[in-house]
């Protein structure tokens, strides 16, 4: 077809969905039939709006862009950025902009949506902003430079994203939601209450059932919000993120059919009431529904492409299941998560208020099919539940086993159990069968699969599932899956550990020289350096501050303290088992007073001192070490704490001396470096006051000795520890822990917690018992020797550093100036110092 006979196709909107249609046109060679012009209202070309908050974490418009700068030119598509369409002349088949009129044969509306701002008096005041585009984020960043706090109006998905953005700008954040709970579309009352607790624990104030009457000038802050009960909240800026509305003004003005509550009405072919005009994405109303996720928009784009080319693909609705991490909190919703669309449905609920985990299943009346699910606090079961739902797989005889903790008979659907029709990537409609076809077509690694199928290039929520399917299918075909640690080492962490141990390699430079990948850079990278540092420390326990090891450490390990938000550091001395003498308590108080430190008693039964300046760290630790303290290793991937109750010494229920055992265990394993941090708990009876069953190593007293629990953890993905051995005497307890921890250190992947390591072990807990308790591999004595070497070579890293003038040279804010960092400014709160929020932070 010659250029003169090509049909003119105009796409209004250069967002994610409009750009995806362009990609579909390119891949289908449709540009031989159409001359394509895209109008984008924003000055930037299409960018990833799903990860918009990354803009505050170092990403820029170019990083977020969905294509190369020359993509449109290279494919012969005309992109008119920063040129808004102001009208559509359907009779003349032209669109109108400030620059002129452009004729079309076919027109696609991909105008998306705009943020809804409730009709609140005063909403137009300076400091009232929205959260939708890069320009909006620039405005928020600018306003934050002169603010100390901010409020988000709207507690849905976008509202919590906006709250996270405010926190990223070092503002005290609050969320105001009209509904009785956060994320009312995704979670129920129980889930909403738990979500609120978790988000408030992160320092974000949550106000639900609050209707804002007006916004006026504040007294202490720039603005004051007045609620329906006349209560007020003062803030420096307000971000409206209370939902979206379709950008249907162009369609309204040219008399296209519009839904009662907005949105351009479309049929299954994405055609509007004018056959020459199509609509896709958030502007489109299909079957009385507007879809606010990117995956349905992409599916509409595929249907629109078929309509333009005479194909048969149609839009038939979309699964709105979502897996999110908001402010670091997992939230998942699958299908009919509320259970109100299926009369007769039955529900199973699991709530752990201590670990802050809520799970809910909605199943058919006969208990055989999953109709919906809800997860708050832990999305670990999301992929499995989604496959049960999406593929109609029959549920196990006990459906509750899918959401209960420590249920060994809960069948997790591995890649081999999924049918070829299983949807892996809903953004791009990629099934397991499609992945297998790509592999058969020559794609031999994850990158190639992504390039061929586009899987996991949308929202990215399927990344973990995709990798497991790809690895499984490649291995099933006899293809060796590359499990290299990074580009510098063609080995796994476990293989590197064995190499270091067998060859006695003690430095990174020797390891990379002898075993680095071909052409590997001698300096390594942020993946291999800390991994090798951990391996070397686990094997030989040499001071991490030695000159050969310092280049491998991150900031926290380099300065043996955790860096805080304002550039100061925390000081965390070891308080073994939580036991401390009055004299040592006095010393901690004196040091905190002398150096103006904030003091906090932690959940791990220690006293943390915050706000230490870098140049003061050696002096602080000098005084603490002189008083008998040593480093608590709070900065390292190592043993952190051994929590204990008071045990038989004081408690009338205690059957063993839990404090004494906790102190012995902490002194035995202190300084032990591992793939991830390790925590212990020791309880003096089954009342479990030390919460040992939520720790990597849990010890609970019995009348006959100690019961040992292993591989639990708290954190963002809590796991209950599992009973491993019973009625152990002291020596058997030490021996069993020695073997288990050293086997974990030898075989775990980098940054892998004991719980995840245990989950990934072939044979599970039974296999681990065979190796550790029955010595099935004949490694017992060797593991014990290795642990004893670590124990025998322990030394306090801070004591080692303050005796070495060369090591102390690092503790200054500026290389060429001994003065302290002037940008660190403190204020007072509740009688203690805390970081002041300034425009420079």
The pLDDT tens digits of the residues spanning 42-56 come to: 999 999 888 787 777
pLDDT of the residue at 461: 64
The pLDDT tens digits of the residues spanning 670-688 come to: 989 999 999 999 999 988 9
The pLDDT tens digits of the residues spanning 675-723 come to: 999 999 999 998 899 999 999 999 999 999 999 999 998 775 678 899 9
Mutual orientation of helices 157-168 and 134-144 as an angle, nearest 10°? Answer: 40
Structural contact between residues 757 and 747, judged by C-beta atoms closer than 8 angstroms: yes
SS3 353: coil
Looking at every residue in the chain, the average pLDDT score rounds to: 88
pLDDT of the residue at 3: 54
Q: Is the pLDDT of residue 426 over 80?
A: no
pLDDT of the residue at 113: 94
pLDDT of the residue at 839: 37
Which 3-state string (H, E, C) describes 136-162? HHHHHHHHHCCCCEEEEECCCHHHHHH
Q: What is the mean pLDDT of residues 627-644?
A: 93
Q: Is the pLDDT of residue 41 over 90?
A: yes
The pLDDT tens digits of the residues spanning 205-256 come to: 999 999 999 999 999 999 999 999 889 999 999 999 988 899 999 999 999 9
Per-residue tokens: 136: 């909006």
The CATH code of domain 414-480 reads 1.10.10.1100
In the chain, what are the domain boundaries? 3-114+246-309, 117-242, 319-413, 414-480, 483-534, 569-792
SS3 333: strand
Cα dihedral angle (135, 140, 144, 145), rounded to 10 degrees?
A: 10
What is the CATH architecture assignment of 319-413?
2-Layer Sandwich (3.30)
Structural contact between residues 36 and 22, judged by C-beta atoms closer than 8 angstroms: yes
Strands 284-286 and 264-266: parallel
Question: Residue 563 forms beta bridges with which residues?
Answer: 569
Q: What is the mean pLDDT of residues 810-832?
A: 71
Q: Report phi then psi at 580, rounded to 5.
A: -145, 140
The pLDDT tens digits of the residues spanning 556-590 come to: 888 888 888 778 889 999 999 999 999 999 999 99
pLDDT of the residue at 408: 41
The pLDDT tens digits of the residues spanning 506-519 come to: 998 889 888 887 65
DSSP 317: -
pLDDT of the residue at 479: 76
Per-residue tokens: 555: 């900031």
Per-residue tokens: 554: 């991150």
Please spell the DSSP secondary structure of 685-753, one letter per residue: STT-TT-GGGSSEEEEEETTEEEEEES-B-TTS-B--EEEEEEE-HHHHHHHHHHHHHHHHHHPPTT--
The CATH code of domain 569-792 reads 3.30.413.10
pLDDT of the residue at 837: 57
- Residue 778 backbone class (left: φ over 0; alpha: ψ -120 to 50; beta: rest): left
Question: Residue 420 forms beta bridges with which residues?
Answer: none
Fold of 3-114+246-309: FAD/NAD(P)-binding domain (3.50.50)
Q: Which pLDDT band holds residue 40 (cuts at 50, 70, 90)?
A: very high
Q: Which pLDDT band holds residue 838 (cuts at 50, 70, 90)?
A: very low
Q: Is the pLDDT of residue 815 over 60?
A: no
Of 415, 96, 110, which is closest to residue 281 (Cα–Cα)? 110
pLDDT of the residue at 817: 52
The pLDDT tens digits of the residues spanning 455-510 come to: 877 666 677 678 778 888 888 888 777 677 777 888 888 899 999 988 999 998 88
Structural contact between residues 372 and 363, judged by C-beta atoms closer than 8 angstroms: no
Q: Is the pLDDT of residue 103 over 50?
A: yes
pLDDT of the residue at 733: 97
pLDDT of the residue at 499: 92
On the CB side of 20, CA atoms within 13 Å amount to: 25
The CATH code of domain 117-242 reads 3.50.50.60
From the number of C-beta atoms within 10 Å of its C-beta (0-12, 13-18, 19+), residue 208 rates as middle
* Cα 792 to chain centroid, rounded: 38
pLDDT of the residue at 803: 87
For residue 421, count other CB atoms closer than 10 A to its CB. Answer: 12
Q: Report phi then psi at 276, rounded to 5.
A: -85, -10
Domain 319-413 identical in fold to domain 569-792: no
Least confident residue range of 147-151, 442-446, 742-746:
442-446
Higher pLDDT, 260 or 543: 260
Q: What is the mean pLDDT of residues 266-293?
A: 95
The pLDDT tens digits of the residues spanning 327-365 come to: 668 888 999 999 888 888 999 999 988 888 899 999 999
Per-residue tokens: 329: 């909190």
State the DSSP H helix or E strand holding residue 9, giving kind and residue range, or none if neither: strand 7-12
The pLDDT tens digits of the residues spanning 4-37 come to: 589 999 999 999 999 999 999 999 999 999 999 9
pLDDT of the residue at 841: 32
pLDDT of the residue at 102: 97
* Cα 469 to chain centroid, rounded: 21
Alpha-carbon span 518 to 523, nearest angstrom = 14
Of 302, 319, 320, which is closest to residue 311 (Cα–Cα)? 302
């Amino acid at each position: 077809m010659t250029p003169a006979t090509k049909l003119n196709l105009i796409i209004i909107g250069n967002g994610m969905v409009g750009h995806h249609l362009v990609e579909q046109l390119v891949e289908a060679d449709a540009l031989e039939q159409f001359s394509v012009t895209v109008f984008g209202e924003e000055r930037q070309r299409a960018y990833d709006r799903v990860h918009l908050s990354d803009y505050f974490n170092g990403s820029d418009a170019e990083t977020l862009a969905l294509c190369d700068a020359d993509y449109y030119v290279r494919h012969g598509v005309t992109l008119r950025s920063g040129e808004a369409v102001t009208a559509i002349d359907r009779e003349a088949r032209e669109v109108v902009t400030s620059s002129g009129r452009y004729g079309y044969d076919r027109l696609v509306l991909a105008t998306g949506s705009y943020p809804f701002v409730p009709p609140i008096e005063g909403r137009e005041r300076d400091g009232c902003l929205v959260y939708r585009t890069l320009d909006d984020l620039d405005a928020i960043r600018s306003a934050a430079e002169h603010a100390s706090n901010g409020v988000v109006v709207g507690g849905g998905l976008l509202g919590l994203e906006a709250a996270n953005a405010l926190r990223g700008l070092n503002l005290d954040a609050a969320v105001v939601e009209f509904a009785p709970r956060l994320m009312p579309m995704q979670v129920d009352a129980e889930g909403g209450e738990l979500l609120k607790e978790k988000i408030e624990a992160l320092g974000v104030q949550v106000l639900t059932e609050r209707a804002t009457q007006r916004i006026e000038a504040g007294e202490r802050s720039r603005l004051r919000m007045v609620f329906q009960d006349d209560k007020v909240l003062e803030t420096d800026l307000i971000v409206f993120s209370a939902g979206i509305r379709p950008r249907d003004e162009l369609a309204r003005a040219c008399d296209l059919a519009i839904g009662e509550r907005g949105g351009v009405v479309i049929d299954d072919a994405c055609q509007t009431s004018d056959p020459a005009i199509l609509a896709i994405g958030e502007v489109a109303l299909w079957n009385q529904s507007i879809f606010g996720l990117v995956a349905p928009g992409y599916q509409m784009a595929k249907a629109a492409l078929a309509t333009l080319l005479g194909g048969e693909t149609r839009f038939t609705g979309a699964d709105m299941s979502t897996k999110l991490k908001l402010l670091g909190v997992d939230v998942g919703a699958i299908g009919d998560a509320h259970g109100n669309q299926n009369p007769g449905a039955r529900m199973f609920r699991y709530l752990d208020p201590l670990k802050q985990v809520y799970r809910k299943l909605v199943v058919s009346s006969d208990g055989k099919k999953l109709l919906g699910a809800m997860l708050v606090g832990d999305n670990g079961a999301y992929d499995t539940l989604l496959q049960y739902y999406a593929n109609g797989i029959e549920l196990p005889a006990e459906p509750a086993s899918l959401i209960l903790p420590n249920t060994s008979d809960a069948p997790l659907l591995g890649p081999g159990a999924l049918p070829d029709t299983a949807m892996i990537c809903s953004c791009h409609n990629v099934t397991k069968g499609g992945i297998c076809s790509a592999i058969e077509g020559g794609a031999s690694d994850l990158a190639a699969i992504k390039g061929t199928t586009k899987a996991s290039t949308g929202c990215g929520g399927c990344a973990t599932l995709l990798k497991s399917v790809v690895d499984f299918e490649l291995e099933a075909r006899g293809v060796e899956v590359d499990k290299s640690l990074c580009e510098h080492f063609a080995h796994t962490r476990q293989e590197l550990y064995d190499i270091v141990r067998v060859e006695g390699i003690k430095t990174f430079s020797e390891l990379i020289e002898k075993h680095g990948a071909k052409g590997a850079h001698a300096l390594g990278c942020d993946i291999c350096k800390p991994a090798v540092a951990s391996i070397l420390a686990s094997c030989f326990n040499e001071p991490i501050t030695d000159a050969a090891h310092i280049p491998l450490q991150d900031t926290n390990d380099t300065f043996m303290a955790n860096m805080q938000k304002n550039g100061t550091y925390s000081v965390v001395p070891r308080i073994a088992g939580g036991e401390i003498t009055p004299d040592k308590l006095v010393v901690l108080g004196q040091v905190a007073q002398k150096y103006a430190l904030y003091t906090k008693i932690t959940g791990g039964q220690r006293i943390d001192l915050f706000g230490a300046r870098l140049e003061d760290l050696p002096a602080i630790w000098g005084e603490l070490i002189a008083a008998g303290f040593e480093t608590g290793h709070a900065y390292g991937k190592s043993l952190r704490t051994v929590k204990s109750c008071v045990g038989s010494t004081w408690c009338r229920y205690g059957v063993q001396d839990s404090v004494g055992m906790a102190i012995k265990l902490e002194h035995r394993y202190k300084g032990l470096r591992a793939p991830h941090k390790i925590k212990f708990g020791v309880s003096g009876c089954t009342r479990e006051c030390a919460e040992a069953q939520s720790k990597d190593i849990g010890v609970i007293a019995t009348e006959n000795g100690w019961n040992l629990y292993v591989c639990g953890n708290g954190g963002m993905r809590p796991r209950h520890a599992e009973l491993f051995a019973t009625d152990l005497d002291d020596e058997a307890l030490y021996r069993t822990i020695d073997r288990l921890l050293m086997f974990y250190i030898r075989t775990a992947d980098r940054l892998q917690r004991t719980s995840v390591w245990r989950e990934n072990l072939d044979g599970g807990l039974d296999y681990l018992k065979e190796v550790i308790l029955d010595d099935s591999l004949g490694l017992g004595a060797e593991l014990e020797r290795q642990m004893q070497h670590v124990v025998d070579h322990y030394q306090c890293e801070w004591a080692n550093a303050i005796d070495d003038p060369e090591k102390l040279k690092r503790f200054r804010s500026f290389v060429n100036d001994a003065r302290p960092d002037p940008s660190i400014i403190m204020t007072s709160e509740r009688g203690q110092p805390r970081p002041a929020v300034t425009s420079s932070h």
